A = this chain, B = another copy of it.
């Protein structure tokens, strides 16, 4: 099996190193990741300037672009083979509920999926890299499952609690929960007296009911959400048709 690994925390992040180390024994791996932290970059693609590929001493490739750029470049010109699987992460911090829209980690997996390749995004729920080894072990187990009964290609969003391995409960299938709207921007002044705005933190969980990723995580499970990327609101098509008459 050949696996392409990317992330949005940058090629130096502990999460991608742990993930690469966990998967190297079971697959041929290649790492192509952003040169620096690109958290919050969503599916952003770099269209107005060219990208460069460099190789680090440990063999990882890094690109001066977004997570989507990395997977896109790897698949359409850089690699001379087609990966069997694309994995992204392990992200520092959860990607649950509406967060998935903004996540560069999920975006890297989505880019692979758009090219017809099964893809999995991995995130640790809490920041700080605690219990990263456990998360990497879980990630490897999930990769080994192969998901043969799912339609191919699939796109999975996996969140892992920061717990010791033997306290992590089995993975369960979940739907994305909902969050309350974000906290307000933090309006302050820089030291030169100019008004500046910092984007505030995400909102608290609003729908964390049974079956959601929030609920699974709260119970100590690994949350695995199957994703799709068709944004059409099919249920509204008829009403909209009437409204447009």
Q: A47 at the A/B interface (Cβ < 8 Å)?
A: yes
CA distance A181 to B56 in the complex (A): 29
Q: Is the CB of A232 within 8 A of B45?
A: no
- Given the known inter-chain contacts A50-B198, A198-B190, please indicate yes or no for A233 contacting B244, CB distance below 8 A: no
CA distance A52 to B100 in the complex (A): 26
Q: Is the CB of A43 within 8 A of B102?
A: yes
Tell me which of A20-28, A83-91, A108-116, A160-168 binds B: A108-116
Number of A interface residues at 8 Å Cβ cutoff, please give it.
Answer: 93
Task: Please indicate the chain B residues that have their CB under 8 angstroms from the CB of A136 in the complex.
Answer: none
- Given the known inter-chain contacts A40-B46, A101-B110, A101-B229, please indicate yes or no for A197 contacting B51, CB distance below 8 A: yes
Closest residue on chain B to residue A142 by CB atoms: B244
Binding site for B on A (CB under 8 A): 12, 35-37, 39-53, 56, 64, 66, 68-69, 72-73, 76-78, 98, 100-102, 107, 110, 114-116, 145, 147-151, 154-157, 170-173, 175-176, 181-188, 190-192, 194-201, 224-234, 236-244
